[in-house]
Amino acid sequence: MRTKRKLSITIDNKILEKIENISKVYNLSKSRLTEEALKLWFKKNTEELMARGYQEMAEEDQEFTELALEAQKEALEE
C-alpha cells in the first residue's frame, strides 16, 4: 500500500525559485521540502485555532462567572 500520492500545483515563479534553492542548500527533494513546509503550516494553524478557542472559552467563563455573581448578589438582597 502506498503512503504517498502525487500532487500537481501551480505556484509563483519566485516561490518555486526559493524552493529550488532551499532544496539544494538542505539537500532535500522539492517534494520533501514542500511536505515539511505544509506540516509546519498545519501545526501553526492548529495552534492558532486552539488558542482562539481557549480564549473564547475563557471569555464565556468570565461572562458566566459575572452572571452567577450578579444572581447571587440579587438573591442575597431579597
Instruction: Map out the domains of the chain as residue ranges.
Output: 30-77
Q: What Å distances lie between residue 5 and 19, 20, 31, 35, CA to CA?
A: 20, 21, 11, 12
Tell me the one-letter amino acid at 49.
Answer: L
Quick: pLDDT tens for 19-78.
999 999 999 999 999 999 999 999 988 888 888 888 888 888 888 888 888 878 777 776
Contact (Cβ atoms closer than 8 angstroms) between residue 19 and residue 30: yes
